[in-house]
Amino acid sequence: MKYFTLRLLSSAVLVGLSGLVLAEPDPQHYSLDQVIDLALANNPELSIMQARIDQADAQLGQAMASFYPQIKTSLSYQYSNNPSQAFAMLIAERRLNFAGTNFNQPGFVEDYRPSVSASYSLFRGGQDYYQSQAAQLGMEASELEKSATRNRLLNNVTAAYYGELAAIQTHKVSQRSIESVQSELDQSRVRYDAGSLLKSDVLSLEVQLAEAKEADIQAANAIEMAQNMLKTLLGLSVNDPFAISESQDTPLPKGPENFDDLLNQALSHHPELKAAEKKVAIAEKQLSVAQAAYLPRADALVSYGSDSKNLTYNSNRDNVSVGVMVELDLFNGFSTQEKVKKAEHELTAAQETARQTRLRIENQLKSAQLRLREALNRAQVSAVAVESAEEALRLVTEQRQAGVVTVTRYLEAQVARDKANTRQISSRYDALRSEAELKQAIGFWQ
């Protein structure tokens, strides 16, 4: 019997230990700062923008290649009895012998020519210079676009974080409402069974309980949706374990600054506006590139090779050519003129895009300022409303227990309390989200 008891105890211990091993750990509860750090490290859109920066850097290197000499090596082979080509090959190989030579029938001649050639651009009307400047500005614009992406991302992350907190708080309100109505319903059923309460009162409470449960379902679903949105911004799968910290007590933001001060901040360093201005400068450089095609081009050329009939090297057969070539397009079917027109239109589009970006930032800034001001006012009013609604429900509950008021009055007080709490939650997190939107509008996150 003792052995059997020990076996049971050991089995129970093993089962308990296996349960501890197999149980999934609770997910870490992230604060807002930790969520922001995770988004910066894991969001795929930032990785895409970094790849574009690297691409722009490579384009800059490609543009700078025009300032270096271009060196090529080649090996050619010819076999011909064409008199002009054959005698040219014999001369290049230093094998021409006039004695007994039939110039009309030279026979087949072979020629191997390994060679090295180099060219250097002396002048291209400034095209290479303007192109390199445009590439440098393109890299700077890509970096600013990444900053703009980061600015938008952190605003969206902050808004999603506060959205989930608001959904959690709303869910708690609905659960408290269910508990309160359920408790009142249980008491009312007892009183109905005792014959001291009408059936209609019980039915009214049952309807209110159903509505409270429906609101609870919607609030729980809102939490899931807000969390899924947040996971997407963090670069997480919807199945990854994740939870936010509910213990934070973030104070309400202060009132917004004067609009002109906010606008000056935005215009001085907002990354989207700066990126748009960089693109205007790029379009100006591209216009200069197109206009430079009207000017002549000059290149220095040098070539070294050795002609032979069997790839044997002999310094006596070296051939060296050095020269300068100057080109000027007299007529190319209006191609240069059309390229200039295209560049002018692209410059106009870039300028209008920059103007549109500024107007959009101004509108976003003003809207965020107004929303923040409105939310703070609502939060102040709702705080007073919650206190009044809580006190009204307490008094009605006492009167209800004393049988002074009807269940309808109790339900009205209950609904008024829940709505006041919901409005307070909404206004509080609306203010926090509006503050984040205001930060985005001035380019706070870079």
pLDDT in tens, 320-337: 999 999 999 999 999 999
Q: Is the model's pLDDT at 54 over the cut of 80?
A: yes
3-state secondary structure of 312: coil
Contact 413, 392 (CB under 8 A): yes
Model confidence pLDDT, tens digit, residues 209-225? 998 899 899 999 999 99
pLDDT at 180 over 90: no
Distances from the Cα of 366 to the Cα of 153, 157, 354, 442, angstroms: 20, 21, 18, 11
* pLDDT > 70 in the chain, percent: 93
What pLDDT band is residue 192 in, cutting at 50, 70 and 90?
confident
**Mean pLDDT lowest among 161-165, 265-269, 313-317, 337-341:** 313-317
CB 343 within 8 A of CB 131: no
Q: The tokens of 73 are what?
A: 């090596």
Lookup: tokens for 422 = 């919901």
pTM: 0.82
Q: What is the pLDDT of residue 5?
A: 38
Mean pLDDT lowest for which of 52-61, 371-380, 411-420, 427-436? 411-420
Burial per residue of 12-43, b for 16 or more beta-carbon CB atoms within 10 angstroms, e otherwise = eeeeeeeeeeeeeeeeeebebeebbebbeeeb
